[in-house]
Amino acid sequence: MEARTLSRAAYYLLVPAFTFNVMSSAELAAAQALQMVGYMLLVTLGMALLGVLTGRLLRRPASVVAAYLLIAVFGNVGNFGFPLIEFGLGEAALPAATVYFLVITFVSFVLGVAAANYVRGGNMAALLAVFKTPALLALVPALIVNWFDWPLPLVLTRIIGLLAGAMIPVMLIALGVQLAQTRSLRLSYDLLVATALRLLGGPLLAFLLITPFTLDETARGAGIMQASMPAAVLTSIIALEYDLEPEFVTHAVLFSTLVSVVTLTILLTII
């Protein structure tokens, strides 16, 4: 079994289905959600800037700089963030966690795919390629269905639900195959820096930027937690699909996940 086959299935089929499934049924109160969207948008863009600046200050090639950006912005806010937030903050925090999940996923996809295509081609090609991303193509019909409350045929709903439910297991299998193809986890300077950027830079920036926003304690805690997650499995999927330092990114996913057991435990005692 090849990791690229699984990654293509996830990238072109399962992730769009998951995006449609979440966005078409999301229940968001506009006034409250707007504050959370603004907050997490600011945090995510700040992390993107930190990732690019870190790579450039270290004088790394463009592909490594793009990999730093991917790792910095794309936390595992879905299958890692949701259960941890429910455990640490309670079920009442899940609506806020969902808003943050949508913002982080959308912005990270745009920035990550744009950076990957920029490395391959240039500014205009990168911008155009973003709008061809399968997950983003699924966003528009999902929002239309949500806004107009259109019911979908039961058969279509079940198919999309099954594909969406398969996303996380397939991504984890793809990650496992990639890791099995690597001889060992080599602790490099870049790996340590990227992990620190994701696990320490994320929560610090989230703490610093929370002040201007009038969010309640639950929404604040959920936002800081989501900004503190380890690198997402999807980063390795994107890195493999675009040949963007996939070994470095995959090792960052694994290592940051292992280290996050410590950092997230400490964070839960603080917020």
Q: What are phi and psi of 231, to 5 degrees?
A: -60, 140
pLDDT of residue 41: 96
CA gap 69, 67 in Å, rounded: 5
Partners of 75 in beta bridges = 231
Q: What is the pLDDT of residues 85-107, one digit of tens each?
A: 988 998 888 888 888 988 898 89
Q: Integer distance in angstroms from the first to the last C-alpha of the chain?
A: 43
Class of domain 3-270 as given by CATH: mainly alpha
What would the 3-class secondary structure string for 44-68 be? HHHHHHHHHHHHHHCCCCHHHHHHH
In the chain, what's the furthest Cα-to-Cα distance?
53
Partners of 231 in beta bridges = 75
Residues in the chain predicted with pLDDT less than 50, given as ranges, are: none
Task: Give CA separation, 197 vs 46, 70, 208, 263, in Å.
Answer: 12, 11, 15, 12
Answer whether 0.95 is exceeded by the pTM: no
pLDDT of residue 123: 56
CA gap 191, 240 in Å, rounded: 17
Q: What is the pLDDT of residues 108-135, one digit of tens each?
A: 888 888 888 788 765 555 566 667 778 8
CA gap 269, 87 in Å, rounded: 12
Q: Which amino acid, residue 36?
A: M
Nearest to 47 by CA among 186, 235, 264, 271: 235
Token pair recorded at residue 16: 């769009």
